[in-house]
Amino acid sequence: MLRWTITFLIIALIAALLGFGGIAAGAASIAKIIFFIFVVLFVLSLLAGLVRRT
């Protein structure tokens, strides 16, 4: 999932350099959403591991 975030971030940077502001903003917002989903799932997996261990 983190790989998708980096991919959309690179797409946003390239689109911004080429002057496609709308596409860059869209790709950046998708990257931000995927990153926050990644963080939430990562924290949940850490908590599940702690609960399972005790």
| Tens of pLDDT, residues 20-38 | 999 999 999 999 999 999 9
For the chain, the domains span: 2-53
- What integer best gives the mean pLDDT of the chain? 92
Q: What is the DSSP letter of 54?
A: -
- Do 11 and 34 touch, CB atoms closer than 8 A? no
Q: Is the pLDDT of residue 5 over 80?
A: yes
Distance between CA atoms of 5 and 13, rounded to whole angstroms?
12
| The dihedral sign for the CA sequence 13, 18, 19, 24 | negative
pLDDT at 33: 95
Query: In angstroms, how far is CA 45 from the centroid of its own chain?
Result: 17
